[in-house]
Amino acid sequence: MNELDPRQRERLSRLGSWPIVLGTLAAAVLVANAIAVPLILTLVLGGPSDLADVADIATTPAVLFLSVLVGDGALALAAYLLVVRRGILSWRQMGLTGGTRGHPVLRGFGWAVAFIIVSSAAAILLASFGIEQDQSDQFPIQDMGTLGRVGIWIAGVIFAPVTEEVFFRGYVFRAMAARKGVARGLIFSSLLFSLLHLNLAAFLPVALGGAVLALSYHRAGDLRVPIIAHALNNAFSFSMLLLAT
């Protein structure tokens, strides 16, 4: 990763403390909910009012798209305000505009394969204990029309990988690695990444995938590498959901 001067490293290290990381994450979630919930409720108004129907509405393309857009947008905004705007790291130093040893697309593809293998192995292990993956319940794209699928792909394959990598790898991993060491920064940032996905059955596969993404960022020094790997993994996952119909 791009080298920092001692003052930058010290300031970044301060942002890697648990109170600041958790406080920033909580603030981003609260802001996202404050924006998204009224908009989602507006979509619900005038429709069915019982809980079962509201749950169905929560998985419609418009609501899913809006949730990803606002939720992940809040994460990227938090990283920008906390790290970039204050001059602790520039976008270049975060790795959005270069730094990799080798072509970022090719390296991203290689790390995507590692992500898929590791997370799939974890899913198979969990299945042997009777814990089945339920991503199809969270993202029922099989039942969506063409427009809905396009919206989910834009949100999940283009927007989410960029914003989530900026927050979890560009900020959280980088700051916690500066404060606690690379190994603990990798573990802690990956656990938080998985926790935010709110899927208990997929907690281990997502956490291991997050660790792969953090390692790819650490090795390449280029945030574009985990962004590409993340996007390719999501594209693969959505494709598998479609083929499962």
| Per-residue pLDDT at 4 | 85
The structure tokens listed for 79 are 């990283």
| Per-residue pLDDT at 57 | 59
pLDDT (tens place) for every residue of the chain, 245 residues total: 667 888 999 999 999 999 999 999 999 999 999 998 888 777 655 554 444 455 555 667 778 888 899 999 999 999 999 999 999 999 999 998 865 566 899 999 999 999 999 999 999 999 999 998 877 667 777 777 888 888 889 999 999 999 999 999 999 999 999 999 999 999 999 999 999 998 999 999 999 999 999 999 999 999 999 999 999 999 999 898 888 76
pTM of this structure:
0.92
Domain boundaries, the chain: 6-243
Say how far apart CA 180 and CA 17 lie, in whole Å.
9
| Per-residue pLDDT at 24 | 98
| Per-residue pLDDT at 59 | 67
Phi, psi of 106 (to 5 degrees): -65, -40
| Per-residue pLDDT at 148 | 81
Say how far apart CA 88 and CA 86 lie, in whole Å.
6
